Amino acid sequence: MSDATPRYGFPYLHSGQAQKEVYHNEALVLADMLVQANALSATLSDPPASPLPGECWIVGDTPSGGWVGQSGTLACWSEGGWRFVAPQGGMRVRVEDEDLDYLHDGEGWRKGALRPEGLFISDVRIVGAREAAISPPSGGTVVDSEARATILAILNALENHGLIEETE
């Protein structure tokens, strides 16, 4: 039997093990990091100078100092120093400075689909901000030009919202 859980490395307790509280407390620290994970930022590569216990970050691409070799991990400060958790595919972390959820796809962190600027799929905006209403045709003497103008306005709105590709 292994000494830790397979996904996040929570330490197992074994019968007859000395100082079980140390292993139990380590598991609690890791659980505290991961349950409804929350990071202050996903862009820092240098550890903050005065972190508070429980504060977490997604380590940036070029880590330095106490974060060397931890690119992309979830780093949390604890009373015992830095704790790092390697992300697993499907892991979600709320990133406070961007007010976004990040999702780990098994290879790297991706911004979530819902963002202030719209709904994104594969980093392509599919739905954007609401735009002004399209005026209905009125009158009736020149139906063809009014209908064409209204249809063009509808197509432009769909393109602007990202629901259809832009015409060339």
Distance CA 14, CA 28 (A): 16
41 alpha carbon, distance to own chain's centre: 10
Return per-residue pLDDT of the chain as tens, 168 residues.
Answer: 678 777 777 778 778 778 877 777 777 887 878 888 999 999 999 999 999 999 999 999 999 999 999 999 999 999 889 999 999 999 999 999 999 999 999 999 999 888 888 888 888 888 877 777 766 666 666 667 778 888 888 888 888 777 777 776
In this structure, what token pair is assigned to residue 132?
């002004």
38 occurs within a structural domain:
yes
Whole-model pTM?
0.69
Statement to judge: residues 103 and 57 lie in one domain: yes
Structure confidence at residue 24 (pLDDT)? 77
Domain of 140 in residue numbering reads as 128-160
Domain count of the fold of the chain: 2
Residue 59 near residue 24, CB atoms below 8 Å: no
The tokens 């598991």 sit on which residue? 27
Statement to judge: residues 37 and 87 lie in one domain: yes
